[in-house]
């Protein structure tokens, strides 16, 4: 059974600091997704990572994928309050067309 683990589950940080959220998964997979959720809102797709070594960046967020280590990271640079949200990673089970999610990381950025 595929398991996806995120850490940390809760993260409180100050504006201007850098931090990384980690996502480990237990079985080979072809795709890894990062989503953001604001309270009461839908899950917003941030990144889709398709291959080993893939790196994508959008603003202050950068995601990477190491398929050999079965690890993805979401790095936050110079955090700002607007980035406060819950972040989920999810892994695609190829051919099954369903996602296995991590527990989510609740990120709070304090002024």
- Give the binding site for another protein (CB under 8 A): 4, 31, 33, 35, 40-45, 48, 88, 90, 92, 94-104
- b/e per residue 18-42 (b: at least 16 CB within 10 A): ebebebebeeebebbbbbbeeeeee
Q: How far is the CB of 98 from another protein (least distance, A)?
A: 4
- Please count the other Cβ atoms lying within 10 Å of the Cβ belonging to residue 48: 15
Quote the least distance from Cβ 77 to another protein, whole Å.
Answer: 25
CB-wise, 79 or 90, nearer to another protein? 90
Give 47 or 79: the residue with its C-beta nearer to another protein: 47
Task: Give the shortest CB-99-to-another protein separation in angstroms.
Answer: 7
Distance of alpha carbon 44 from alpha carbon 60, whole angstroms: 16
CA–CA distance, 31 with 67 (Å, rounded to integer): 9
Smallest distance from another protein to CB 68, Å: 22
Q: Quick one: 95 or 111, whose CB is closer to another protein?
A: 95
Rounded to an integer, what distance in angstroms lies between the CA atom of residue 52 and that of residue 18?
24
Considering beta carbons, is residue 29 or 79 the nearer one to another protein? 29
């Amino acid at each position: 059974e595929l398991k996806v683990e995120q850490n940390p589950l809760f993260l409180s940080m100050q504006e201007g600091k850098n931090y990384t959220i980690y996502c480990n998964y237990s079985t080979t997979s072809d795709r890894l997704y990062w989503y953001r959720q604001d309270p009461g809102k839908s899950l917003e797709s941030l990144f889709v990572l398709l291959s080993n070594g893939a790196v994508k960046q959008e603003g202050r967020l950068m995601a990477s994928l190491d398929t050999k280590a079965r690890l993805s990271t979401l790095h936050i640079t110079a955090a700002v309050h607007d980035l406060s949200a819950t972040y989920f990673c999810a892994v695609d089970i190829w051919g099954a067309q369903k996602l296995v999610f991590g527990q989510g990381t609740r990120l709070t950025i304090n002024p």
